[in-house]
Structure 1
Amino acid sequence: MAHEPASTAADANPVTTELRGKILLVTVDNPPVNALGVAVRRGLAAAMDAAESNAAVSAVLIVGAGRNFIAGADIREFGLPPQPPALPDVCNRIEACRKPVIAAIHGAALGGGLEVAMGAHYRIAVASAKLGLPEVQLGLLPGAGGTQRTPRLVGAAAALDMMLTGRHVGAAEALKLGLIDRLAQSDDTLAEGLAYAQELLASGAGPRRTRDAAGLADRDASRAAIEAARADTAKKSRHLFSPHRIVDAVQAALDKPFDEGQKLERQFFLQCLDSPQRAGLIHAFFAEREVVKIPEAAAARPRPFKTIGVVGGGTMGAGIAVAALDAGLPVTMVERDDVSIARGRANVEKVYDGLVAKGRMTAEAKAAVMARYTGSTDYASFADVDLVIEAVFEDLEVKKAVFAELDRVCKPGAVLATNTSYLDIDAIAASISRPQDVIGLHFFSPANIMKLLEIVVPAKVSADVVATAFELAKKLKKVPVRAGVCDGFIGNRILAVYRQAADHLMEDGASPYDIDAAVRNFGYPMGPFQVSDLAGGDIGWATRKRKAPTRDPKARYVHVADRICERGWFGQKTGRGWYLYPQGARTGQPDPEVLAIVDEERKKAGITPRSFTEEEILRRYMAAMINEGANVVHQGIALRPLDVDVTFLYGYGFPRFRGGPMKYADTVGLPQVLADIREFAKEDPLFWQPSPLLVKLVEEGKTFDSLNKA
């Protein structure tokens, strides 16, 4: 371990020391978030040495400069050769200090930051502080004593809850749990920390090591909590690696002495670090941050907006209204008549009534939110609104009629957005006098819950309107992805292709239930046929009928879904679709009549069914998704492969631990994906045309990820 003298110049060392009476003040100042890079780790270790070797020091106070205490490890170091001292050694060094060490926490104390605080002997936090161990979200576990110290401080149940969810704990809850010792009375972290340190010294308090805390003293309760977490993890996180290791590590905390438990924790941490899941989750983490970097944001500032208009009070319109109301924005909703606007208001209120019923919102809070909502049957109500979102029936002429009204009544400079899943936004924009103000905002249902927002950029839109859409996404806490105009944009365009691949597999011999099971085992929450039943089979049917006149007559077309829809079986809402839903059940049962329809259509098409293994199903399903994703990037509909990944992670249930379809393709190897496509093309060369981008990358020995860095 490095034994460098602690510096007093922030530019030389991100950890500075200063003697305040008998207290050595240790300040971490490593902007922007005080991440635990190697210089911070060395500085903290050196500060402990300095405290012990200086007779004038009676106690140590660790604080963070800027907005946070310490927001966690420096994830830029992941994958690089480790540089000593390792964080577990630093935390152990803090804990071993022969003089009392106090951590005064403000802002974020997350991951390694909380582990440093737990290495200290006493903890005080201001009311607004957030504490947490979110490593599970990156496919890791707390690897610097977190799995060993947390249960000793707060008990096995609370520790497992924190580590398996990765949630942030507020200071008041942290005090209740025993994670901190005191809640500061003011926001002055330094003054509160110094006062607490002086109080401890006056009372004669010495070091109090977390490794000796008694949170696991009730062994029966601890064991029961561990077993409950193990069963829950097997059910909810069966595809994931790190949650299981977290449970194993807490088991070690119960069964073994601290040092042995910490050695096992380190082994588990290194196993997580080597896991491909960690690579996928890290990719997802960075992709979500990169996706907002768009050319329009660099070229223009957003237009200011304080008020939102919504056209349409159906499921989608109401969901959009709730998302805006939740963000604190006043909302004006316009519907065609009094009955419709009453229904629209009821759809909005239903969301809040549900929260009130569950005790997650008071009736007073609901009333305060609804006071920002106005319903109207007159488009003139939009005269002063800054941004209007149209969410009416998915029909081009209907939407053009709405936009003609918006063009007539909205003030100059108002942003006019359409929530369409497929339609040509350039055609909508061209139908009014201000195409520069028109943009696509494709919300996903339910719009107040789903995180993805496709921001569709038509040819004539102003850069500041695109920047405004991204600013709106931020305010609504959505994950925005920039998309170009084409049928289905990024997500639904790719979905249409891999859904066709699923239909081909079904007609060739795999049952829809086998295909759904294979996709679930890959890590999706639902398979494509289950999704169709949830969304409503009539939606896909309407799209197929709309596209029928332009469909290539030589292209293969599977009629099974149409036959099911012709019977009025639209999925959960009608009690049957691909599956049966007796008595309104949410989970479907396989339907022998559907399999009979499949058999009948196979015979009509002259197909002799063959069997497919789960691996064969997935290779075709994923190859179709990846190939169309490559086309979307190649044609500039998506800026980068990571935009496709983020779309699928947040809008289509793609397993996060695999990083997204393009990241997954890199994991499999692009030569393998291309070889599969060429193999499948022997049966159907029209459907399986390799993307020019995929061919080019294979020829150049490159990955999709190489384009993210370009």
Structure 2
Amino acid sequence: MNAAPAPVTLRRHGSVAVVEIAYAPVNPLSKGVRTGLVEAMATLKADPTVTAVVLSGGPGRFIAGADIREMNAPPDEPFLPDVVAAIEGLDKPVIAAIDGATLGGGLEVALGCDARIGSPKALLGLTETRLGIIPGAGGTQRLPRIVGIAAAIPLVCEARILKAKEAHALGLLDAVADDPLAAALDFAATAQKRPLSALPVPEGDAAAEQAAADAALKGAKGQPAIGEAVRVIRAAREGTFADGLARERAAFLALRESSEAKALRHLFFAEREAGKVPGIEGAAARPFASVAVIGAGTMGAGIASALLDAGLNVTLVERDEDAAQAGATRVRGLYDRPLKSGRVSAAQVDERLARLVPTADWDSLSAVDLVIEAAFEDMDVKADIFRRLDTVVRPGAVLASNTSYLDLDAIADLTSRPEDVVGLHFFAPANLMKLLEVVRGAKTAPDVLATALGLAKKIGKQPVVAGNCDGFIGNRIYAVYRRHAEYLVEDGAAPEEVDAALESYGFAMGIFAVSDMSGLDIAFAMRKRRAATRDPNERYVTIPDLLCEAGRLGRKTGSGWYAYDTAGKKSLDPRTADLIAAVRTERGIAPRAFTPGEIQRRLVCVMANEGAKELEEGIALRASDIDLAFVNGYGFPRLKGGPMFAADQMGLPAVLAEVEAAHAAGGAGSAPSQLLIDLARSGGSFAAWRKTNA
């Protein structure tokens, strides 16, 4: 067996040495790369015939960042600060030739060089805060020496990724060249040693620096890394450069072990696992250059916008021409805010809308590659649509439903080609929300599932594959979450107390405020649909039904769980409190108080328990998929990692005890899952569990 090629190699161009990193596919900073760089610097330091060094990642690359395979392993020498110190400490100028992504530790390596030359496709950024940490190899100390403190704070705290032109304007790149390696070799002939560590931090505008710090802290949303980044960047002027490195490293090491960083690392890996779906290995996606959307309401318009943004051609179908034109107007309106903010130009909007064809002509669907039905959530409505699609859409085209609850297999069986049917459950607003729940029916073909995943990638969504059941992954768990929140209210907690506890936990909005925003009639219709099959031993809270029957449907009617003024501002509604009190009296419930911690534990644990049932049934492939769904689609705080991760961190014996209490409060449907029982007793975790017969 041939030995693997060395990840770092040396070659000569006269008196200039080229150190090339070749560790496919993106040159991550693995132990082998770090070791190779340190050894190369030692070799070059001892060679008097070398006058300058070019550090290259090869065509299309430099160093993309950390090696994700080592992220959760104990740190191993040489550490990245030692690598950067070896580069910066070389007694010869080092020029970085950057031709691709240069992120996190990759940019810290580049900042250890004496100059940086990038190609037009170079991307640069210190992105560590996305993982709940800060740069730990001098990034917070060297960056301010180039751009100043006021500019460095948002670059680090917002984990911005700069294109070559912007990086050059800021001074991060000394030059932009089509062939950065050739340009670096030319530059090396006259290059001088100029380490950033020897430069002072430029004097800046104190007010601008304070404003940058205030803005970063305001947007931190509870993430400790942001505050630490601001602190160490602002301290870059204090003491020596070595002092700054020591402050940075201490903060980095502490943050790396924080619960927030562990949660963000978990989600980082979860995103990379989500696309690994058993049964579709080797399946090629079908083409989807042209897509049709059936239904031009709020959801259909959002889906159409997301498709247009990705460069696809979209046919928007409605019941008549007036409705189709109204739908096109709705799509156009979705660009008003980004156009006003400058995120898109008028020319870009015009180009996208030019690819939109609103129509009431179903025959126009004969040539499209993929159809997404986004009609009202009613089985009769969807049945009529899919029967029509079966007759007009060409063989081999993918037929997708945006259903959020209904039986996908029943929908598929209305066609003569159930293998072409898949669920694509978008989340409102569909043009903005990250999650796309991809529902695999019993007969969905592997290449159709591959097509759905390919579409998700194309339009920038986070796909999570779900099996077919009522509510799929997300709404099934959300229904349990809402039900137990209602139990808490009936038992004594005020709706605003539940919401405040959830917001304190990290949710942007509490569940009752979200219900008012969505409209209470949506869940009311779902409950009525399920009424005939509801277990009589399941506790049922009538409070939300009574609100709906009184015409209090949430924000759109001016009242729901809360009252709303004409501007949509929320306030407590004494009529809600009176209604809740009357129901408690009628049912003989003596209200008791709940602490925020009790509310948080109860609701997180019942979510995790229902997730465990989905794992048992194969509805979800892995616990991390459930976490991705809730973080990206339901507002679960990223810093908590999702309900399954949070349960693992809590300890499954404690979760089981809480679920047993929830079962006593809720009756049928709330029993602990067998998986939770087994894992709690064996000392296992959801993260490590895999369904053996998946």
TM exceeds 0.5?
A: yes
Counterpart check, 1:159 vs 2:152: yes
- The CA deviation string for residues 455-486 of structure 1, in whole angstroms up to 9 with x for no partner, is 11111222221111111111111111111111
Cα distance in 2 between the residues matched to 1:688 and 1:192: 66
* 1:586-610 Cα distance to aligned partner (Å, 9 max, x none): x522222222221122112211111
Following superposition of structure 1 onto structure 2, how do residues 287-302 of structure 1 map, counting pairs within 5 Å?
287-298=270-281, 300-302=283-285
Farther off after superposition, 587-596 or 92-101: 587-596
1:328 equivalent to 2:311? Answer: yes
The CA distance in 1 between the partners of 2:371 and 2:686, in whole Å, is 36
Q: In the alignment, which of 174, 181, 186 is matched to residue 190 of structure 1? A: 181
Moved more, 396-405 or 369-378: 369-378
DSSP 3-state at the match of 2:367: coil
Structure-1 residue corresponding to 2:42: 49
* Whole-Å separation in 2 of the counterparts to 1:461 and 1:376: 29
Q: The residue matched to 2:607 in structure 1 has which SS? A: helix
Please say if 1:207 is aligned against 2:193.
yes
Correspondence 1:631 to 2:613: yes
Kindly provide the amino acid, as one letter, of the partner of residue 301 in structure 2. A
Please list the CA deviations of residues 337-368 of structure 1 after superposition, one character each: whole Å capped at 9, or x if unmatched: 12211111001111223333333323222222
Which residue number in structure 1 is paired with residue 66 of structure 2? 73
Q: Does the aligned pair in 2 maintain the 1:226–1:247 contact within 8 Å?
A: no
How far off its partner does 1:439 sit?
Answer: 1.2
Counterpart amino acid of residue 207 in structure 1: K
Q: Match of 2:281, SS?
A: helix
Residues 1:65 and 1:10: Cα distance change in structure 2 (over 3 Å): farther
RMSD of aligned alpha carbons = 1.8
Contact 2:153/2:216 (<8 A) preserved: no
Q: Structure 1 residue 121 and structure 2 residue 114: aligned?
A: yes
Q: 1:86 aligns with which of 66, 79, 90?
A: 79
CA distance in structure 2 between the aligned counterparts of 1:564 and 1:79, rounded to whole angstroms: 49
| SS of equivalent to 2:689 | helix
Letter in 1 for 2:155: M
Q: Is the 1:424–1:486 contact (alpha carbons within 8 Å) kept by the matching residues of 2?
A: yes
Q: Does 1:528 align with 2:487?
A: no
Q: Which residue of 2 aligns with 1:646?
A: 628
Quote how far apart the aligned CAs of 1:19 are.
1.6
Question: For residue 31 of structure 1, what is the aligned residue in structure 2?
Answer: 24
Q: Is the 8 A contact 1:455 1:480 kept in 2?
A: yes
Confirm or deny: 8 A CA contact 2:647 2:655 kept in the other structure. yes
In the TM superposition, what are the counterparts of 1:12-27 in structure 2 within 5 Å? 12-27=5-20
In the TM superposition, what whole-angstrom CA distance separates every residue of 1:428-454 from its partner, at most 9, and x where no partner exists? 111222212111110111111111111
Give the letter for the 2:8 counterpart. V
State the shift of 1:91 in Å. Answer: 1.0
Alignment match, 2:663: 681
- The answer for the alignment partner of 1:655 in structure 2 is 637
Alignment-mate amino acid for residue 189 of structure 1 = P
Distance, in Å, in 2 between the alignment partners of 1:406 and 1:553 is 39
What is the distance in 1 between the residues matched to 2:587 and 2:103? 59
Contact 1:226–1:250, Cα closer than 8 Å, also in 2: no
User: 1:528 Cα deviation (Å)?
Assistant: 0.4
Larger mean Cα displacement after TM superposition, 248-257 or 98-107: 248-257
- Report the alpha carbon displacement of residue 24 of structure 1 after superposing the two structures with TM: 1.1
Which whole-Å CA distance do the structure 1 matches of 2:342 and 2:661 have between them? 56
Partner of 2:97: 104
Q: CA offset at residue 16 of structure 1?
A: 1.1
Which residue is equivalent to 2:426? Answer: 443
Check conservation: 2:616, 2:691, Cα contact below 8 A: no
Between the aligned partners of 2:221 and 2:473, the Cα distance in structure 1 is: 29
Letter in 2 for 1:651: G
**Structure 1 position 613, deviation (Å):** 0.5
Q: Does 1:408 align with 2:391?
A: yes
The amino acid of 1:63's aligned partner reads S
SS in 2 for 1:216: coil
Deviation readout 1:187-216 (Å, 9 max, x if unpaired)? x22112112222xx1xxx421111233443
TM superposition shift of 1:35: 0.9
Equivalent residue for 2:450?
A: 467
- What CA distance in whole angstroms lies between the structure 2 residues aligned with 1:305 and 1:324? 11
| Amino acid of the structure 2 residue aligned with 1:143 | G
1:65-104: CA deviation from partner (whole Å, max 9, x where unpaired): 2532001122332343433221112212212222111111
The one-letter code of the counterpart of 2:403 is: T
For 1:681 and 1:402, the matched residues in 2 are separated by 41
Equivalents in 1 of 2:619, 2:9: separation in Å?
49
Give the % identical residues.
48
- 2:464 aligned counterpart, secondary structure: strand
Q: 1:147 and 2:129 equivalent?
A: no
TM-score by length of 2: 0.96
Alignment of 1:665-676 (within 5 A): 665-676=647-658
Query: Which moves more between the two structures, 637-646 or 226-235?
Result: 226-235
SS of residue in 2 equivalent to 1:481:
strand
Do the aligned partners of 2:425 and 2:439 also contact (CA within 8 Å) in 1?
A: yes
Query: Any unmatched runs of 5+ in structure 1?
Result: 1-8
Mean Cα deviation higher: 575-584 or 512-521: 575-584
Q: Which position in structure 1 is the counterpart of 2:371? A: 388
8 Å contact from structure 2 (residues 284, 450) kept in 1: yes
Q: 1:591 aligns with which of 566, 570, 573?
A: 573
Secondary structure at 1:707's aligned position in 2? coil
In the alignment, residue 688 of structure 1 is paired with which amino acid? Answer: S
Following the alignment from structure 1 to structure 2, what is the Cα–Cα distance between the partners of residues 511 and 596? 11
Contact 1:102 1:121 in 2 (8 A): yes
Matched residues in 2 for 1:167 and 1:636: separation? 38
- Once the two structures are superposed, residues 94-130 of structure 1 have per-residue CA deviations (whole angstroms, 9 ceiling, x without a partner) of 1222211111111011011100110111111111110
Paired with 1:708 and 1:215, the residues of 2 have a C-alpha distance of: 51
Deviates more, 1:426-435 or 1:225-234: 225-234
Structure 2 counterpart of 1:619, from 601, 615, 639? 601
Contact 1:296 1:467 survives alignment (8 Å): no
TM-score normalised by L of structure 1: 0.94
Distance 1:255 1:590 in 2: 49
Letter in 2 for 1:175: H
Change (3 A) 1:337 1:580: same
Per-residue CA shift, 1:475-530, capped at 9, x if unaligned? 11111111111111110000000100000001111111111111111111111011
Residue in structure 1 matched with residue 555 of structure 2 by the alignment = 572
- Out of 500, 509, 514, the position equivalent to 2:497 is 514
Q: Separation in 2 of the partners of 1:124 and 1:554?
A: 69
Q: 1:354 to 1:684 in 2, by over 3 A?
A: closer
In structure 1, the partner of 2:464 is 481
